[in-house]
Amino acid sequence: MPHAPRPLSPRKGFFITLEGPEGSGKSSQGRWLVRRLRRAGYAVVGLRDPGSTNLGRALRRILLHRKEDMSALMEALLFIGARVQLVEEHIQPALEQGKIVVCDRFHDSTVAYQGFGAGLDVNWLDALGRRAIRDITPTLTLLLDLPTEQGFKRLRHSHDRMERKTRAFHRSVRQGYLQLAKREPKRFMIINAAQPASQVRAQLEEVVLKYLKCKSFSLVTSH
């Protein structure tokens, strides 16, 4: 019998994820949100999936920069593997300590990119990915949405392996995200990322601070 991972212990913290297609600006908005919440006195851990563990960084290099063709399933399993490590090393301990975790991408990215984008069975992939991370689910997911063409116009650097996929692939990713948001309207908040960055920041601030105020989470503060 394979060893089944034990379920996670009940959580005290607050888990926020930022999701979105290429060029949505979610990484810089996420960094800003971490600083804003710290200024408001919360203890916040800012993470990136994949990338905030040593193994995650190694897998990220393979996933984004190797030249060989990679099957969608291999891609999905590597992203999921990196996430398992991130949950064990950082997310679970921080939430157990009652901290806020702000994570740039998470499980929804795998469903959007390798499921809706690359064509793996969405329900199967969703179930697999959730089991691997022991059903840890964000409390709030901020989906920074914008049309594919607009997102690509904003990318200045040379494109990585995922960004080089066809525009049709990326349009399916965007539509996939919108479907995920429709399925879980209580968890997802869609933010129009085509607005100027200052307006996106104002909306993020309003949504997140209001959310934290009205839910009585036992969060720790930084002082």
> In whole angstroms, how close is the CB of 73 to ligand TMP at the nearest point?
12
The DSSP bridge pattern shows strands 100-104 and 188-192 to be unpaired
**Nearer of residues 22 and 145 to ligand TMP, judged by Cβ:** 22
Q: Quick one: which segment of 29-37, 109-117, 179-187, 188-196 binds ligand TMP (CB under 6 A)?
A: 109-117
Query: DSSP 3-state assignment of 101?
Result: strand
Residue 24 interacts with ligand TMP (CB under 6 A): yes or no = no
Three-class DSSP category at 191: strand
Q: Which residues of 96-135 are buried (b: 16+ CB within 10 A; e: fewer)?
A: eebbbbbbbbbbbbbbbbbbbbbebebeebbebbbebbee
Task: Spell out, one character per residue from 68 to 107, where the chain touches ligand TMP: x when CB under 6 A holds, - when not.
Answer: -----------x------------------------xx--
Alpha-carbon span 5 to 80, nearest angstrom: 15
CA angle (123 as vertex; 83, 159 as ends), nearest 5: 50
Position 113 contacts ligand TMP (CB under 6 A):
yes
Dist CA 110 CA 173 (whole Å): 10
**Minimum distance from CB of 107 to ligand TMP (Å)?**
7
Q: Does 188 bind ligand TMP (CB under 6 A)?
A: no
**Minimal distance, residue 75 CB to ligand TMP, in Å:** 6
Taking CB under 6 A as the binding criterion, the range among 110-118, 133-141, 151-159, 174-182 that sits at the site for ligand TMP is 110-118
| Interface contacts to ligand TMP, rule CB under 6 A | 22, 27, 48-50, 79, 104-105, 109-110, 113-114, 162-163
